[in-house]
Structures are given as C-alpha cells and as structure tokens.
Structure 1
C-alpha cells in the first residue's frame, strides 16, 4: 500500500493550522504521540475516525483510491446506480398509473354529472302532473 497515512494526517493538520500541541489536547494524548502518529504508515481505524472528526477531513477516502478497496467501491457504486435506475423506472410507471387514475376519476366525475343532468331532464314536471290529475 502506497499510502502513508501519518504524512497525510500531518499535512491536513498543517492546512487546518492545528499544531501538534492542539491536536494532542483534542486526542487527550501527548505531543510526542502526535509526532508518532505522523510517522506511522498505518493507524487504528478508531483513531483514524477520531482524527477525521477532529480535523473535519475524511482520511478513509485515501484508502478507496487503492486496490482492492477501489474495485470494491466501484462495484458498490455500480450496484447502487442499477438500483437507482430500477427505482426511477418503477417511479415512472407509478406516475403513469397516477395519470391514468386521474383521467379515470375526471371521466367518472363527468359521467356522474351527465347522469344527474339526465335525471333532471327526464324527471316529470311536477306542475304538469298536478294539473293533469286535477282535471281527471
């Protein structure tokens, strides 16, 4: 592995204008231990996570640039992209179905309106019925 994580940590700390003394205070350790971290080619993941939070920098990202994690991440990204495509396709189908349901609802509403209109049109006129019955 070509990553020297200690040098990367040191570089980020310097960019953040955080000296070894300040970093040691955040880590609850001595300045000498911070210098030891700077010399390390490898580091415990819990410590790396702690440094990531303190320095607001994702040190783990560097490991995804190297094999085998690079291939693993690419596989995961490809799988997620396929899942997203499938979900988008499903969403599009649902949207088409909603449009059809909306059209059906509007047409059903129109049918109801026409039925009411038909019932009013063909309803016997009450005034005519009363007048016809009186003449009998």
Structure 2
C-alpha cells in the first residue's frame, strides 16, 4: 500500500484551517515547498517530523501497518503488555501484603485493648 503522506499532511492542515503560507511559517520554510510537499507521496523523516510538530499530529502512524514498522510496533506492544502484566502482579502482591499487615495491626490493636481492660480490672 502506498501512503500519500503529502495528501495526508494537506488534509490535516486544511482541517486546521491553515494555509500553505501559514504552515510554511510554522515549519520555517516557503509556501512553494509546502505546496510541493503536498504533492509528494513520500518525504524524508525529518520533514515529516517538522510537519508533525507544527500540526501537532503523528504522521508516522500512517506507516505503522507497513513493514518493518508493523513488526517493530508489535514487538514494542508485546513488551509493554508483558511489563504491564508483571506490574499488575506486583501490585496484587503488594495489596495482599497490605491487607495482611492491616489484619495484623487490627489483631494487635484488639490485643492491646484486651490487655488494657485486664490491667484496669486488676487495678480496680
């Protein structure tokens, strides 16, 4: 699948009501170059970065389903999911520990109250 990145950039700029001249100012270039970029199906990565920054839009996302980026992204997602799973397990363990500690504290408080009551009875 061919991605027409120039067309996509033009559409995003149009959706933001930005003229070629305004966008050129945002990327510190001239209007003619922006117009030429609109017609291109591919751009250098640093140019895509300029447009992404200027338009606050992730233009790289359109390449995520293309190889090798698709595989890279899948690997990253798998790594993130694995890390999330591990963190969830650690959180569950921490919550169990907290629950046990709270139960232990409650038992200790009850013991202290019982001992206080016994001391009062023994004194009185």
Distance 1:29 1:75 in 2: 37
Distance 2:36 2:5 in 1: 12
Structure 2 gap ranges (5+) = none
Structure 1 gap ranges (5+) = 126-136
**Whose Rg is larger?**
1
CA RMSD of aligned residues (A): 1.8
1:112 Cα offset (Å): 1.1
Distance 1:116 1:95 in 2: 31
Distance 2:81 2:53 in 1: 29
Q: Which runs of 4+ in 1 moved over 4 A?
A: none
The corresponding residue for 2:19 is: 19
Deviation string 1:97-121 (CA, Å, 9 cap, x unpaired) is: 1111111101101111111222222
Structure-to-structure mapping, 1:56-71, within 5 angstroms:
56-71=56-71
Deviation string 1:40-81 (CA, Å, 9 cap, x unpaired) is: 333232322221122222101111121111111111112111
TM (norm. structure 2) is 0.87
Structure-to-structure mapping, 1:1-136, within 5 angstroms:
2-123=2-123
